[in-house]
Amino acid sequence: MSEEQQRSVLSYDPADEYRPEPLPPPEIPAWKNGSIRIGIHTSIAGDIVRALDLAHGLGANALQIFSSSPRMWERGDSRISDVDAKRFRERRRELCLGPLVVHDSYLINLASPNPVLRTRSVQAFHHEIIRAISLGADYLVAHPGSARDGTREAAVAAIVQGLRQATRGLKLGQLRILLENTAGHGASVGSRFEELKAILDGCPELPLGICIDTAHLFASGLDIRKPGGLDGTLAAIDESLGLDRVPVIHVNDSKTALGSRVDRHEHIGKGRIGLAAFRAILNHPMLAGKAFIAETPIDRPGDDRRNVATLWKLVAKTVVATGRDGMKPRRSRNKGSTGRKRSRGSSEKARR
């Protein structure tokens, strides 16, 4: 080949320009098919994959879990092994469960004025995020924190900074962190929507959203029993936070009275909120497309199955639970009182 020929062979042809293949559109998980999502908090005791089968067996199509013990500070390596995480994601796909919500540890307080507790909390929350990502979770629900003896403003600022520190260096992917409204016990932040809004506004770069808990709304003084009260509350949430930032509703009835500021969950329809209100909540047009997840107590075997069935009934669907009740009631230390709780239980006090 002469030099001239060679040059002509090597000459630039725009058709030869390298054009990368267009990326395939992100795969939409099968559970995102527009159907109503009803879930329940299930136990990961023994084997984390079992939580999926438990939820499925109870008739739920969504679920919430803790990714580690919610009442113990992590010791050593808190990561979930790659093998377990893979098994979990595969089984979840098979059972078509979603969304998957992970609830953070009760011990975490990003607002703690105690520097040791705060540092521990930031580290623990960092690990919560890593575990949630490895499980392929859609949402990580977090209680904002407690101001203790500090001011609300300082607490909100500490939470904003804590969220930034805990997410540093992590690629969250599809995971969103949802701040949960609280009953307003003691110095807990987040019973007022403005406080949640201040946190959202404080870190616009983070994928944050909100989880609304019905028992906490009620205990904080919002009367969602009457249609007007429910409409007004939803309008207030929409105005201050935006309902489009609320993908998950914790559906819990309340043992405690309106405005008690005490957080005690009750079976759906058996508490102070009542069945009619839950029918209105589950069918409210402003809540269409939200996932409804129960964190109801287990007082008797079968309570979880009954609560899931009640929720389906309220949306006029019959779903047959195929599994056995996998979780035993927690033994009461204080018979006849509210002490009969399982770990996901219901109280936020005295842990911070």
Q: How many CA atoms lie within 13 A of 282 on its CB side?
A: 28
Report the residue number, 263 or 325, with the smaller CB distance to Zn ion.
263
The yes-or-no answer on residue 265 being catalytic is: yes
In the list 131, 176, 250, 261, the residue contacting Zn ion (rule: CB under 5 A) is 250
Query: Quick check: is 185 catalytic?
Result: no
- Indicate which residue of 106, 118, 253, 304 is catalytic: 106
**DSSP string over 301-312:** TTHHHHHHHHHH
Of residues 86-145, those binding Zn ion (CB under 5 A): none
Bridge partner list, 194: none
- Say if residues 146 and 188 touch (Cβ distance below 8 Å): yes
Indicate which residue of 118, 143, 267, 272 is catalytic. Answer: 143
Instruction: Confirm whether 103 is a catalytic residue.
Output: yes
Q: Single out the residue of 127, 136, 66 nearest to residue 98, CA to CA.
A: 136
- Between 85 and 159, CB nearer to Zn ion: 159
DSSP string, 182-236: ----TTEE-SSHHHHHHHHHH-TTS-EEEEEEHHHHHHTT---SSHHHHHHHHHH
Strands 100-103 and 139-142: parallel
41 in contact with Zn ion (CB under 5 A): no
Dihedral of CA atoms 161, 121, 78, 75 in degrees, nearest 10, equals: 150
**Nearer to Zn ion by C-beta: 250 or 290?**
250
Region binding Zn ion by CB under 5 A among candidate stretches 4-12, 29-37, 148-156, 206-214: 206-214
Which of residues 253 and 263 has its CB atom nearest to Zn ion in the complex?
A: 263
By CB under 5 A, the residues from 286 to 305 that bind Zn ion are 295
User: Given the complex with Zn ion, which of 263 and 266 has the nearer CB atom?
Assistant: 263
| Catalytic residue status for 143 | yes
What are the backbone angles phi and psi of residue 248, rounded to the nearest 5°? -130, 135
Is 250 an annotated catalytic residue? yes
Least distance (Å) between residue 61 CB and Zn ion: 19
Nearer to Zn ion, 37 or 250 (CB): 250
Per-residue x/- mask for Zn ion, residues 260 to 289, rule CB under 5 A? ---x--------------------------
Of 45-53, 82-90, 115-123, 245-253, which part binds Zn ion (CB under 5 A)? Answer: 245-253
Distance, in Å, from the CA atom of 84 to the CA atom of 87, rounded to the nearest integer, reads 5
Are 65 and 295 a contacting pair, CB within 8 Å? no
| Residue 342: how many other CB atoms lie within 10 Å | 19
* Piece in contact with Zn ion (CB under 5 A), picked from 144-152, 226-234, 258-266, 302-310: 258-266
Least Cα distance to 174 among 28, 18, 325, 324 occurs for 28
Please report which residue ranges of the chain form alpha helices under DSSP H.
3-10, 50-57, 82-95, 115-135, 152-167, 193-202, 214-219, 227-240, 275-282, 303-314
Judged by CB under 5 A, which stretch of 10-18, 166-174, 211-219, 227-235 contacts Zn ion? 211-219
Q: Choose which of 53, 213, 303, 304 interacts with Zn ion (CB under 5 A).
A: 213
- Select the span of 66-74, 224-232, 247-255, 304-312 touching Zn ion (CB under 5 A): 247-255
**Residues within the interface to Zn ion (CB under 5 A):** 213, 250, 263, 295
* Residues tagged active-site: 71, 103, 106, 143, 180, 213, 216, 250, 263, 265, 295
